Structure 1
Amino acid sequence: MKMAENSANKTHFPIHQALDVSLDVSQGGSKCFDDDGRLKRTGTVWTSSAHIITAVIGSGVLSLAWAIAQLGWIAGPAVMLLFSFVTYYTSTLLSYCYRTGDPVTGKRNYTYMDAVRSNLGGFKVKVCGSVQYLNLFGVAIGYTIASAISMMAIKRTNCVHNGGGIDSCKMNSNIFMISFGIVEIIFSQIPDFDQLWWLSIVAAVMSFTYSTIGLGLGITKVVENGGIKGSLSGISIGTVTETQKIWRSFQALGNIAFAYSYSMILIEIQDTIKSPPSESKTMKKATKISVVVTTFFYMLCGCFGYAAFGDLSPGNLLTGAGFFNPFWLLDIANAAIVIHLVGAYQVYCQPLFSFIEKAAANRFPDSDFINKNIHVPITGFRPLKLNLFRLVWRTIFVITTTVISMILPFFNDIVGLLGALGFWPLTVYFPVEMYIVQKRIPKWSTKWLGLQILSISCFIITIAAAAGSIAGIVTDLGTYRPFKTSN
């Protein structure tokens, strides 16, 4: 029973590859084990900062120039700073919830859902799980769309370079999404994160590669233009209608929120930190460092992108109609995006895979189809453990996300909707509510009122961002024909 309990509390994030171990031991004073029987943690403020930065800086950075174009030079950077402050503050609140009770000796919560279960319990645990896993499902769709856009961009830039006009270089995105799906079906058969660490490292390197190239091209474009484009209020009425201006401004909020999303994995990152000092104290420092670095990087990419293209800033900085030279550098950047997204897809989907598979194993403990591993010999390597349930269910999952992506291939709209869906509940509401319970903050006290005002304000922003993204999807569906339209 002890083994089963520990197994249920396993974390599911690549940074836990060395910690994702369940042992029925009681060696609290051992140099190799923590007081809960798990392997001794070795994480520091610097490793935690690196994990956060790696998780945060992803494909969302490519939409920031478009987001600032909708809001303008004043509101755009201001909103980015606002989101960075809210993310930092609520992340510090969430870090206090890693341990239940005493911040040094209290019971450890290994996952976000464990923290919600310990502090809030009841129906809210199911709500948290639903929102978290729905968001992970949505991220898989968004990454499939983004990868297809980048693969199309590679083909398009080479077509233009070889003398073809933009109109003659149109193509269909479906074949690229199907190709990405096939690759993900293969990688999805990797059982768990302990065998996925190399893919995560490659993905992290690729994210910095294409982000840096995007920044460099933006700076070069500004110099080439001989000035800074854009306006204080963003895209002007006339270029878009007044209604479009409102909806797109709301959608921009979701895009910026998506770029800062990492709260759903914060507890998992914190579970790598050694103690003493308390994990919350180290995590607070790591969060400050990572949010400052990320915000600085985002400001550079978003602002230089807007300065380069103004109101015509593309939804995806590296695939919009703006950069065609040097074509080889663009090819490298877009190839880096695709490689990054192959790994990122697995990083975000593995927790969902594991959740479903453990639920099925608990529900049908005697089923060979669900629980039995078939050892497939591979010359020169360790035998592959093939599980039929994992093979079938993960394949169906990838096919489902691929088909939905083909039906709704709208990068900015999907990114904005994902940001909206995950921002308030996972970044604000649950951290605030758990912190109130953890610190026993009296109802109607000044601090309680302040936290509730913050939560309500962010809820309103989330509703606006979701509405803007949904409006964008509806508008796009009015002219798009699934499986037929060429892009």
Structure 2
Amino acid sequence: MKMGESGDADHYRHVALTPAEASLEFRLQHKASECFDDDGRLKRTGSVWTASAHIITAVIGSGVLSLAWAMGQLGWVAGPAVMLLFSFVTYYTSALLADCYRSGDPLTGKRNYTYMDAVQANLNGIKVKICGYLQYLNIVGVAIGYTIAASISMVAIKRSNCFHKIGDDGLCRVNSNPYMIMFGVAEVFLSQIPEFDQLWWLSIVAAIMSLTYSSIGLALGIVQVIQNGGFRGRLTGISIGTVSQMDKIWRSLQALGNIAFAYSYSIILIEIQDTIKAPPPSEANVMKKATLASVAVTTIFYMLCGFMGYAAFGDLAPGNLLTGFGFYEPYWLLDIANTAIVIHLVGAYQVFCQPLFAFVEKWAARAWPNSEFVTKEIQVPIASGTSYKLNLFRLTWRAVFVIVTTVISMLLPFFNDVVGFLGALGFWPLTVYFPIEMYIVQAKVPKWSTRWVCLQLLSFACLIISVASAAGSIAGVLSDLKVYRPFN
């Protein structure tokens, strides 16, 4: 065969196929096209219902435990209004973000698989770097917050059993530091498991655990209201006199951050959208329906938990509904709820930290490509025919990260303050600003048009809310530090 005749040869080879062989080849090619999407990845099968389930699982977490306290600061008027406001903003900006899943045409445009992919496709330069730094800073904050929340739940288990046996608060004081260290040790080991966040059963366990402790908190609140013979609480929240006027202001602002943290999920919206089956209809339309349904369900659930917790305890609503010991009995039910929190947070810590782990390790590999400490994989036999790939840099860096976040948690073990600050840190930039800026580019919204001005006003208003709630949380930390002694 001469050069350039391969195309003709292929043509004659296909012509020479018998009808049965040609039919078989066609079916195999058609079958292959049925197994893969337009980007060569396995065909996505997600729907409105699966996407809604993913969102609800991601949103309903430890943030729900602080909602009764947030209601206590805002009262029966402002509390529900703020929850509805955050739910509307979350839904609206999530709908804008959903339109950024594909670049260009909503049916055939290039897919963006992650939040950062969407940012890079629609924005450029310094904005991409700022978004990356904010995302990774938020991950560090979440790791600290989860360490605090898990240790508080472990302490609550110890104390609830103590109260049941002795019934004396003075004899049931428990130091949280050993429990933070226990949580940190567990995370050091788990952080070395390859692709831990990809384990198929992890999301199922997280969903069961989060629904377990949230439902127990709601049920105990309802029972307490019945025992009280009615609702407690005030229209304007905790009264001046119980706290000073300045503390009332700071705590109200901090409550905004707590509610914002409870609604935070925009950072993984694109990943959830990437599970939806290919058009028609477009993934954006399906995701908008899923977002509406899931935000509605989440808001109803949050209101029930926040309302019942506040109605049960009024101004004395604890910062963490299941660990603040508004409830003492049944102690075994509290133990189940707090165990569920710990199990949930052990896995959630790893899921949230994986992007930061991957970023640092890829950066190190590019910076020191010839370093065996950074790049060498040591084969460690663990069973017949299988081995574990040990990388010394990964072992060292991940262990140091967990140790540092654990020490910071021990220095600042303030659940509500940290949750409020995390909510403020992530709400405006990641939930509002970047989705709006990406949508403006994606939809080609003309500058200074009515729609552009309205979107910018929304972004500015949310910036003010984030700054105010961050200030309230920082004031709360400073106030706590006046009486707290680290490591004691």
> 1:287 is matched with which residue?
291
Secondary structure of the corresponding residue to residue 468 of structure 2: helix
Higher Cα Rg, which structure: 2
Alignment match of 2:134 (pick from 128, 131, 134): 131
How do 1:22-421 and structure 2 match up within 5 A? Answer: 30-193=33-196, 195-276=198-279, 277-379=281-383, 382-421=386-425
**Unpaired runs of at least 5, structure 2:** 1-28
Moved runs in structure 1, 4+ residues, more than 4 A? 26-29
Q: C-alpha separation between the residues in 1 aligned to 2:190 and 2:222?
A: 36
8 Å contact from structure 2 (residues 144, 406) kept in 1: yes
Q: C-alpha separation between the residues in 2 aligned to 1:458 and 1:343?
A: 31
Measured at CA, do residues 229 and 380 of structure 1 come closer, stay the same or move farther in structure 2, by a change above 3 Å?
A: farther
Secondary structure of the corresponding residue to residue 389 of structure 2: strand
Cα-to-partner distance string for 1:91-134 (whole Å, 9 max, x where unaligned):
00001011111111111111111111111111100000011110
Q: Cα distance, 1:181 vs. partner?
A: 0.3
RMSD value, Cα: 1.6
Q: C-alpha separation between the residues in 2 aligned to 1:297 and 1:59?
A: 13
Q: C-alpha separation between the residues in 2 aligned to 1:93 and 1:176?
A: 42
Secondary structure of the corresponding residue to residue 362 of structure 1: helix
Secondary structure of the corresponding residue to residue 434 of structure 2: helix
8 Å contact from structure 2 (residues 122, 441) kept in 1: yes
8 Å contact from structure 1 (residues 373, 387) kept in 2: yes
8 Å contact from structure 1 (residues 417, 470) kept in 2: yes
Q: Amino acid of the residue matched to residue 86 of structure 1?
A: V
Q: Amino acid of the residue matched to residue 389 of structure 1?
A: F
Q: C-alpha separation between the residues in 1 aligned to 2:229 and 2:162?
A: 28
Cα-to-partner distance string for 1:450-477 (whole Å, 9 max, x where unaligned):
1111101101000110000000001111
> 1:6 is matched with which residue?
none
Q: C-alpha separation between the residues in 2 aligned to 1:123 and 1:439?
A: 21
Q: How many residues align?
A: 459
Q: C-alpha separation between the residues in 1 aligned to 2:196 and 2:275?
A: 14
Cα-to-partner distance string for 1:389-413 (whole Å, 9 max, x where unaligned):
1111110110011000000000000
Q: C-alpha separation between the residues in 2 aligned to 1:96 and 1:224?
A: 49
Q: Cα distance, 1:75 vs. partner?
A: 0.3
Alignment match of 2:426 (pick from 422, 426, 439): 422
8 Å contact from structure 1 (residues 156, 170) kept in 2: yes
Q: Cα distance, 1:378 vs. partner?
A: 2.2
Secondary structure of the corresponding residue to residue 382 of structure 2: coil
Q: Amino acid of the residue matched to residue 476 of structure 1?
A: D
Q: C-alpha separation between the residues in 2 aligned to 1:27 and 1:59?
A: 46
Q: Cα distance, 1:29 vs. partner?
A: 7.3
TM-score norm. by structure 1 comes to 0.92
Secondary structure of the corresponding residue to residue 407 of structure 2: helix
TM-score norm. by structure 2 comes to 0.92
Q: C-alpha separation between the residues in 1 aligned to 2:245 and 2:36?
A: 61
> 2:480 is matched with which residue?
476
Q: C-alpha separation between the residues in 1 aligned to 2:387 and 2:32?
A: 37
8 Å contact from structure 1 (residues 255, 415) kept in 2: yes
Deviates more, 1:360-369 or 1:90-99: 360-369
8 Å contact from structure 2 (residues 197, 350) kept in 1: no
> 1:447 is matched with which residue?
451
Secondary structure of the corresponding residue to residue 384 of structure 1: strand
Q: C-alpha separation between the residues in 2 aligned to 1:149 and 1:370?
A: 36
Q: Amino acid of the residue matched to residue 305 of structure 1?
A: G
Q: Cα distance, 1:374 vs. partner?
A: 2.2
Q: Amino acid of the residue matched to residue 483 of structure 2?
A: T
8 Å contact from structure 1 (residues 28, 37) kept in 2: no
Q: Amino acid of the residue matched to residue 40 of structure 1?
A: K
Q: C-alpha separation between the residues in 1 aligned to 2:97 and 2:268?
A: 11
Measured at CA, do residues 381 and 173 of structure 1 come closer, stay the same or move farther in structure 2, by a change above 3 Å?
A: farther
Cα-to-partner distance string for 1:325-357 (whole Å, 9 max, x where unaligned):
000000000010000100110111111111111
% identity of equivalent residues: 73
Q: Cα distance, 1:232 vs. partner?
A: 0.3
Q: Amino acid of the residue matched to residue 288 of structure 1?
A: L
Q: Cα distance, 1:380 vs. partner?
A: 6.5
Q: C-alpha separation between the residues in 1 aligned to 2:202 and 2:188?
A: 15
Q: C-alpha separation between the residues in 2 aligned to 1:211 and 1:83?
A: 20
Q: Amino acid of the residue matched to residue 468 of structure 2?
A: A
